[in-house]
A and B are shown apart, each in its own frame.
Chain A
Amino acid sequence: MTLSQKPGVPGDGSSPDSSGRPADLDRRQFLRRLAGASILAVAAGGLGAALYDPKGPAGVAGGKVLAGLGDFRAAPPPAGQPRLATVHGADRRAMFALGVKALGGMEAFVSRGDVVLLKVNAAFASPAILGATTHPDLLAAAVEACRAAGAARVVVTDNPINSPESCFEVSGLAGAARSCGATILLPRPALFSPLTLPGGRLLTDWPVLAGAFAGVTKVIALSPVKDHQRAGASMSLKNFYGLLGGRRNIFHQDINGVIAELGQLLRPTLVVLDGVSAMMANGPTGGSLADLKATNTMIFSADPVAADTLGVALLGRTPVDLPYLALAQAAGVGTMDVASLAPVTLSLDKAAG
């Protein structure tokens, strides 16, 4: 662009010259445009400065995105010792004692001074008789065994979303915990922190109940055996769903994928799968005693994949019916090859005899 001293048409400079090209700008036009452009630039810059937040968005509790909830596995047993036990019977307390003893005793899992988190399934405000939640007798047995092994503190938790107080009270879990000296930790917003599972496809920036794990050194999951409308079955791995916050029902679009990722959230010390009574249909809520069947089985292992692989038979199904088992195994959560865990099967009746 060139500047001329004399405009072709004073004032607007819009007339073409004889060659058809627009006339060159004169000084006044140039200064006017320069001033306009400068005003626009200053206004844009000012708006940006006004909107600039030097602090950024407020951080969430914990201040960082977690990558997992921890590895709480105990030292592996000597070679050849059973790492999976199945106990048949109907008395949950006695079955728990026998199953834990078969795996080396509670001292193999809980040491003096440990802080133990018991992850129960308290999903619904449903009485224990309906089998939709962890049975209070099993919780009581676990709490007492932890305390007998020297646990400094036993904490019981779950995130049922709907009225946790009601779920824990109606299911009898709150009463069982209180009577045994365990602490019930109900979910509250401050306990949730975002977690992104390394390599995870679904669990990214997702709120999890991380606050419940503060100071915890051992984790034991106590799960009922239930039919599940979407997942096929709700057992040990599905129980970890209760560690998620937020509108977790969106994960139902890929229920198998999210259950497999749940297994990667944490490595439990022990999982106990309570199939004394199994919810055969209309799960996970049930509601009728007709939905239940006395399957008289309790399964113990540190490997939730193995426990669920055995447990699914109680529902009359096979591991193939639960695609999340293979996904979890592929992700290194555990093994479907239960024979590799040197399993033992015990019967309460025989033990008593």
Chain B
Amino acid sequence: MTARRKRVSRRERWTAWGVLTVLAAIVVWLGLAQSRLNPAVLVALSPPPATGVAASQASGRTFADAAWLESLPGAQPAGPVESYDPETLSDRIDGKAELYLAANFQEMSIRAFRLPDGTRLEVAVYTQATPTDAFAVLSSQRRPGASPSPVSPDAYATENALYFTKGNRYVEMTADRAEAATGPALAALALKLAEALPAEAAAKPGQGAARNVKALFPAEGLVPGSVRLAASDAMGMEGFSNVYTAEYDLPSGSATAFLAERDTAEAAAADARAFAGFLKQNGYAAAPPPAGAKLPAGVVALGADGSFEILWTRGRLLAGVHDAVNMEAAVELTARLAASLKDVTP
């Protein structure tokens, strides 16, 4: 059969283009309409679990960490184990979920228990992606004045609660009272749970262990329990992520040291410039350190009313002093931090 090619008149061609134009306009309109947030559509597509139904039951997903809460020696379960994933965490801790999500949250299981003396407590096991992420959520919530706990190196206790990490898990245990027996009871339960939780996984072959950045802070003058890791928005700057901070009481005054490790030296330098720019936007201006001060090469020193900042980079490390009460304290802590980093592979 010979293919036939019909000659198209000008009117037909214009008509065809007209129809295609209308169709294209409809497609554009549909695209725009779909791109706008319609909460009702979101509700329909992602309805919340029925009232009173735990997310774990609603999703049908299996949560590995629920098993750790099946029983705790000496404590009677006072409710079912409830489990949450990144999609549902806000159903349990709406308003605070972002803190965990920013630190690579994977799942959480929680259960209420009752102790023989009637104390009601809740135990929550959060699984983050890495031990560093678990430390981030623990340290960012660390309560001032809390006591160290022997449960784990980072563990701390308050009058009615105990918090610790093991591997990539962060555990919260909170009681409904603060009596003399509350702390020892929580510590005993925490020790048993910590023993049961798996240890930190060994580094994969060829991967090498990650550098323990928080161990690089100088010990002298360090306020106990003050080392924190901000998973996001460190020191108020949006997007400034994975920054360790440590508070110091020095003879010249108080100040905060900070450290962050980046993938490349260029990335560290870019973050240093960005943070300096952020400070300048917020009223800081160049504040030359005293003549003769021994500071690392390339430092940027800034100051505002009663607050001084010094920052620099050393290879992939971004280092600095934040919110020092005077320039002397800023210089003193800078010198100590620089000395601590002197032998570190950049």
Contact = CB atoms under 8 A, between A and B. Distances in A.
Interface in B159-194: 159-161, 172, 174, 176-178
Q: Which of A203, A207, A228 has the most CB of B within 10 A?
A: A207
B160 A289 contact: yes
A100 B136 CA distance: 45
Contact of B98 (A127, A205, A252, A288): A252
B79 A166 contact: yes
A105 B1 CA distance: 97
B249 interface: no
Contact of A288 (B82, B93, B97, B174): B174
B4 A288 contact: no
A129 B177 CA distance: 7
A204 B95 contact: no
B2 A206 contact: no
A54 to B, nearest CB: 22
A164 B51 contact: yes
Prevailing SS type, chain A contact patch = loop
Interface in B276-328: none
Interface in B98-134: 98-99, 112, 120, 122
Q: Provide the main secondary structure of the chain B interface.
A: loop
B39 A250 contact: yes
B1 A229 contact: no
A247 B87 CA distance: 10
A290 B90 contact: no
A230 B98 contact: yes
Interface stretch (A107-115, A186-194, A210-218): A186-194
Nearest to B124: A287
Contacts, number: 126
A229 B161 contact: no
A165 B40 CA distance: 26
A123 B94 CA distance: 8
Contacts of B79: 166
B74 interface: no
A15 interface: yes
Contact of A234 (B95, B112, B144): B95
Interface in B36-60: 37-40, 42-43, 46-48, 50-52, 54
Given A21-B7, A288-B161, A231 B51 contact: no
A289 B94 contact: no
B178 A186 contact: no
B160 A163 contact: no
B95 A206 contact: no
Given A164-B51, A164-B52, A247 B174 contact: no
B141 interface: yes
Interface in B73-89: 79, 82
Interface string B1-30: 110111100000000000000000000000
A287 B161 contact: yes
B145 interface: yes
A347 interface: no
Contact of A249 (B1, B6, B90, B143): B90
B91 A12 contact: no
A202 B39 contact: yes
Given A162-B92, A188-B51, A290 B43 contact: no
Interface string A13-45: 011100011100000000000000000000000
Interface stretch (A146-154, A175-183, A278-286, A308-316): A278-286
Contacts of A231: 95
Given A15-B2, A130-B176, A162-B92, A229 B98 contact: yes
Contact of A290 (B6, B7, B144): B144
B38 A288 contact: no
B96 interface: yes
Contacts of A144: none
Contacts of A203: 39
A248 interface: yes
B283 to A, nearest CB: 15
A188 B93 CA distance: 20
Nearest to B78: A170
Nearest to A258: B39
Interface in A282-305: 282-285, 287-291
A90 interface: no
B1 A12 contact: yes
Given A162-B92, A229-B99, A289-B178, A194 B40 contact: yes
Given A130-B176, A164-B51, A229-B96, A288 B158 contact: yes
A129 B95 contact: no
Given A246-B39, A247-B43, A289-B160, 6 more contacts: A129-B160, A189-B50, A246-B42, A252-B95, A287-B161, A289-B158
Closest 9 CB pairs of A and B: A205-B40, A249-B90, A290-B143, A127-B176, A246-B43, A290-B158, A288-B161, A284-B95, A14-B4
27 contacts: A14-B1, A22-B6, A22-B7, A123-B94, A130-B174, A163-B51, A165-B52, A186-B51, A187-B51, A189-B50, A194-B40, A202-B37, A204-B39, A206-B43, A207-B43, A245-B43, A246-B48, A247-B43, A247-B48, A248-B94, A249-B90, A249-B94, A250-B39, A252-B95, A284-B95, A287-B174, A289-B161
